[in-house]
Amino acid sequence: MTPDTERLLREGTLTLEGRLVYASNASFLGAVALEGVTARCVYKPTAGERPLDDFPDGTLAHREVAAYLVSEASGWGVAPPTVLRDEGPHGPGMAQLWIDVDETVDVAELLTAGDERLRRIAAFDAVVNNTDRKGGHLLPTPGGRILGVDHGVCFSTYPKLRTILWGWRGEPFAEDELAALRTIRAALDGDLGRALRSLLSRPEVRATIARVDRLLANGTYPFPSPGWPAVPWPPF
């Protein structure tokens, strides 16, 4: 269950198994153990975050957790359980449940086919203003779900949505998607908003509220911004 998983990730003894060398920031594969329960996780220490021109230093782990909280509030469950740890082998940082993927699934084929399971991730990315949705950040699982990871560059106050999931641009949201957006909006006035204010700046939280209001008012998936690259490079 999610609360138990979050506690395991937050409080469990963390042992590193190796480094994820393809990541742009310091990222490690590890295992957390607590009260006889063990799980694999991704650990990203704040000290290993690469400075960026357009995001404040030392905030990427907080943004990963904020994205998970939005995912949970929506009911979509598109991000794996993600928490902040006060300590770890390389200091404080983010811990996220490791997700085993179905290696037989070709993400490029899912995109070409316009797989409906990607719609929610596209909507989620619009809410959190994800500036780096690459194909490698989409994880098809053996159970048939598709999850998204690597949400460290989200929640900018400027419109910076950059994604490979533009297949639904301009299309109306389905009723269940609108319902989820309304749920997010209500949560932003309550527990979710309070949680985000502990992770993000006040202007970033206000910008998130404004994005959700805009999505609900328009009722459609957004179009790319003319002043920002639409697709990340490389796209996978």
Question: pLDDT tens digits, residue range 21-30?
Answer: 787 789 999 9
State the average pLDDT for the chain.
95
Quick check: 1 pLDDT over 50?
no
- Distances in Å between the Cα of 227 and the Cα atoms of 24, 102, 224 are 25, 36, 9
170 and 137 Cβ atoms separated by less than 8 Å: no
Q: How many CB atoms lie within 10 A of CB 186?
A: 13
Q: Mean of the pLDDT values across residues 210-232?
A: 95
DSSP-derived secondary structure letter, 161 = -
Would you state the pLDDT for residue 21?
A: 78
Amino acid 23: pLDDT: 78
Q: Which amino acid does the sequence have at 127?
A: V
**Tens-place pLDDT, residues 127-186:** 999 999 999 999 999 999 999 999 999 999 999 999 999 999 999 999 999 999 999 999
Per-residue model confidence as pLDDT tens digits over 43-85: 999 999 999 988 999 999 999 999 999 999 999 999 999 999 9
Per-residue model confidence (pLDDT) at position 208:
98
pLDDT band for position 3 (50/70/90)? low
**Residue 182: both structure tokens together:** 């309304």
Tell which residue, 230, 211, 21, 52, has the closest CA to residue 129.
Answer: 211
What single string gives the DSSP state of each residue in 74-136? HT---S--EEEES--TTSSEEEEE-----TT--HHHHHHHT-GGGHHHHHHHHHHT-S-B-GG
Q: What is the length of the chain?
A: 236
Integer Cα distance of 163 and 184 in angstroms: 21
Q: Give pTM, 2 decimals.
A: 0.96
**CA 72, chain centre distance (Å):** 11
**Percentage of the chain with pLDDT > 90?**
91
